[in-house]
Amino acid sequence: MIDPHVHLRDEEQRHKETLQHGLSVAGRLGISGVFDMPNTSPPILRRKDVLRRLKLAKETDSDVFYGLYCGLSANPEQIREATDCVREFASVVGLKLFAGRSTGELAVIDEAEQKRVFRTLAENAYTGVLAVHAESESFFSPASWDPAHPITHTLARPPVAELHAISLLLKMAEESGFGGTLHICHITLPESVNMLENAREKASFRISCGVTPHHLLLNDLMMEESEGLLLKMNPPLRDPQEQAGLLSLLFEDRINWIETDHAPHLRKEKMEAPYASGIPGFPVLPYLIELLRKNGAGEAFIRRITHDNVEEVFGIKLPYREILPVELSGEYEVNAYRNLRGKI
């Protein structure tokens, strides 16, 4: 598998996980490559940040390919430097835009500034992958969030926030003359997939989307159980009908690939303020692959949605390895995985 969406902590977040440990786990699972997100601490925005992070990854001496996204701000000069990094470094696989805040402050939430990002990319003739966290903050309802009732996080970041963001991103990409691939990360709604399929028929740019194991296997009602805070993530878990609908769309080959969104935190960070969002995605992956096989998915299909489609979109060649049924619970007991055991 190639996992094109991970958050491998380290540096100022070494207490959550190190690159050494994350890449070690990925290798034992059978993952041949990971693409790391730029909302690290410190974030990956400039060439110097890229060099620092790639040096840290090289020091792990891992045989897992380490790819890196460069983050985007609303600053045209920074955007140009980021696109240059994609062209200069084979390990910089694309650009990441947070169209809504998630973990950290790396986000461009103003619509006018988002348009500027797309204009600048078009002017720079960028043809690579632009991965986007698609949630419109104008539809957030922070007052709905009550940590005593974790399921309220799904009200604070409702489905309409995702749908509106995707609609807006498609429009901005088209109007700007964007010439790359617009990738919508960790999609959570069947309606979002339908919207992207309809746009793909007439768009002048390429469109892809990915789905996480946790959005396929878990639903919002689980947040009402004991320690539901451990299942807080962005975008949130959805209701059982939407969860089932996503899984059906995956089987219908209408979602490009699986991406884990691996994002470990300490248990204390999840259960106490500020109630961190994100869960470790690596431990959930073998459960999903097992479920797919039990429900009739062939090996060619599994290879396509875990490897080949990623290779095609990113223009990269990596070995294909099957995901192995490795027990990782002990390594992630300090965080959200404890709450996943026995629920999938």
Which pLDDT band, with edges at 50, 70 and 90, does 139 fall under?
A: very high
Q: Indicate if the pLDDT at residue 344 is higher than 80.
A: no
Per-residue pLDDT tens over the stretch 172-183: 999 999 999 999
| Whether residue 339 has pLDDT greater than 60 | no
CA distance 94 to 85: 9
Task: Say how far apart CA 342 and CA 344 lie, in whole Å.
Answer: 6
CA 129 to chain centre: 13
Could you read off the pLDDT of 91-123 as tens digits, one per residue?
Answer: 999 999 999 887 777 899 999 999 999 999 999
Q: Given the structure tokens 């919002």, which residue do they identify?
A: 220
Over residues 292-302, the mean pLDDT reads: 94
**pLDDT score of 6:** 98
- Partners of residue 205 on adjacent β-strands: none
Question: Which CA distances in Å does 151 have to 134, 216, 223, 238?
Answer: 20, 17, 5, 10
pTM of the model: 0.96
- In this structure, what are the phi and psi dihedrals at residue 232, rounded to the nearest 5 degrees? -75, 130
Q: pLDDT by residue (tens digit) across 55-77? A: 999 999 999 999 999 999 999 99
The DSSP call for residue 99 is S
Average pLDDT, the chain: 94
Can you list the domains of the chain with their CATH numbers?
A: 2-340 (3.20.20.140)
Confidence at residue 334, expressed as pLDDT on a 0 to 100 scale: 47
Q: Looking at residue 337, what is its pLDDT?
A: 56
Residues annotated as catalytic (active site), given as ranges = 261
Burial 185-223 (b: 16+ CB within 10 A, else e): bbbbbbebbebbeebeeeeebbbbbbbbbbbbbbbbebb
Sole residue written with tokens 């099957």: 322
Q: What is the pLDDT of residue 340?
A: 58
Give the strand pairing for 65-71 and 257-258.
unpaired
Q: CA-based Rg of the chain, rounded to a whole angstrom? A: 18
Q: DSSP label at 335?
A: T
Give dist(CA 215, CA 223) in Å, integer.
13
Residue 4 gets which letter from DSSP? E
